[in-house]
């Protein structure tokens, strides 16, 4: 979820939403607009792109109104504003108008950093909207979505939903909303499975799970389903890499309780239990072989080979075989 600064008043004169996660940026805007319209139902909202905010435009939009109306001015991609317009915005930050809320959406980073620094120095309310590239971040997002509805979902259900839906935050939020509306009581993994069976079967993580468990036929079936339903090959190699790395990390870790290992390895405790079950047939040599297979597949799907599907099939077979290496001694 988006993180906010101590100044958490959405009607602060200036709100700075920083990051590249579109859903969170949109929510930051929606929160300000909702608060403004709660204070004044006739609030005027202007949502502008850099090309629409020319030098002098901000002064026009924020000039006193005969009707003293409340106004929200949203500036998207503020890092792309022209130098002259940035001067206007910086000048406005020093003396914001009453009944006007300025919302600056900025990608962060080096481009347009002067405006970013100026807004922060002026005491703008800041909302962090970072791109959620890590599975753990998306899992935390799903948990937060359920909490925002006042509903309970098991850790396994949250993970199953992430596996089924993928990395699109809008789709994850929509799925949580649907489950909350349709299901009473605690939402568990079985419920998620009923709603998203087709997508879960097509999930790259399902391919990885079956492969590291040594279930070759099921892994290949899941792989073909994934590819047929449009899952990007690079997502599958990423899931395979995560699955094999988890086996390697846990097999080399010292024994201990799941909670202790979770802290040491950066995994949720429930995943420790799952990986422990998956690693029973693995050896260190098997992990090394599997990682090489993943690296070769990754090169194959990124242009190093003529047939990405064959590269993935080969990797799945090698990983599944490595998962049974202990028994072959």
pLDDT for 6 equals 46
**Which helix (H) or strand (E) segment is 74 a member of?**
strand 71-75
Nearest to 174 by CA among 185, 189, 184, 164: 164
Do the bridges between strand 14-19 and strand 100-106 make them parallel or antiparallel, or are there none, so unpaired? parallel
Do the bridges between strand 3-4 and strand 100-106 make them parallel or antiparallel, or are there none, so unpaired? unpaired
Residue 320 exposed, middle or buried by CB count within 10 Å (0-12, 13-18, 19+): buried
Q: Cα–Cα distance between 77 and 108 in angstroms, integer?
A: 10
Question: Residue 81: helix, strand or coil by DSSP?
Answer: coil
Q: Cα–Cα distance between 297 and 207 in angstroms, integer?
A: 14
Contact 319, 292 (CB under 8 A): no
Half-sphere exposure of residue 175: CA atoms within 13 angstroms, side-chain side: 30
Residue ranges for the chain with pLDDT beneath 50: 6, 200-201, 329
pLDDT for 235 equals 82
Residue partners of 169: CB distance under 8 A and separation at least 6: 21, 22, 23, 24, 132, 138, 141
């Amino acid at each position: 979820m988006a993180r906010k600064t101590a100044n958490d008043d959405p009607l602060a004169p200036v709100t700075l939403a920083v990051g590249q996660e579109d859903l969170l940026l949109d929510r930051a805007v929606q929160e300000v607009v909702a608060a403004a319209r709660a204070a004044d139902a006739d609030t005027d909202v202007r949502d502008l792109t850099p090309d629409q905010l020319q030098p002098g435009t901000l002064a026009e939009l924020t000039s006193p109104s005969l009707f003293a109306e409340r106004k929200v001015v949203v500036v998207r991609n503020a890092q792309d504003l022209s130098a002259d317009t940035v001067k206007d915005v910086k000048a406005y930050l020093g003396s914001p108008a009453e009944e006007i809320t300025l919302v600056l959406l900025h990608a962060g980073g080096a481009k347009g950093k002067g405006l970013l620094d100026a807004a922060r120095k002026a005491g703008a309310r800041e909302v962090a909207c970072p791109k959620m590239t890590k599975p753990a971040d998306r899992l935390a997002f799903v948990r937060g979505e359920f909490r925002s509805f006042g509903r309970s979902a098991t850790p396994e259900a949250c993970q199953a939903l992430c596996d089924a839906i993928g990395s699109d935050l809008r789709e994850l939020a929509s799925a949580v909303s649907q489950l909350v509306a349709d299901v009473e009581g605690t939402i568990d993994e079985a419920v998620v499975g009923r709603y998203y069976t087709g997508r879960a079967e097509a999930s790259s993580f399902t391919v990885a799970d079956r492969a590291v468990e040594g279930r070759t036929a099921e892994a290949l079936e899941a792989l073909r389903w994934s590819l047929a339903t449009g899952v990007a090959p690079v997502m599958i190699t990423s899931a395979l890499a995560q699955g094999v790395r988890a086996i390697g990390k846990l097999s080399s870790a010292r024994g201990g309780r799941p909670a202790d290992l979770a802290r040491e390895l950066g995994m949720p405790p429930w995943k420790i239990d799952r990986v422990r079950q998956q690693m029973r047939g693995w050896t260190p040599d098997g992990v090394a072989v599997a990682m090489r297979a993943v690296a070769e597949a990754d090169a194959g799907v990124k242009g190093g080979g003529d047939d990405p599907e064959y590269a993935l099939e080969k990797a799945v077979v090698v990983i599944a075989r490595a998962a049974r290496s202990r028994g072959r001694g």
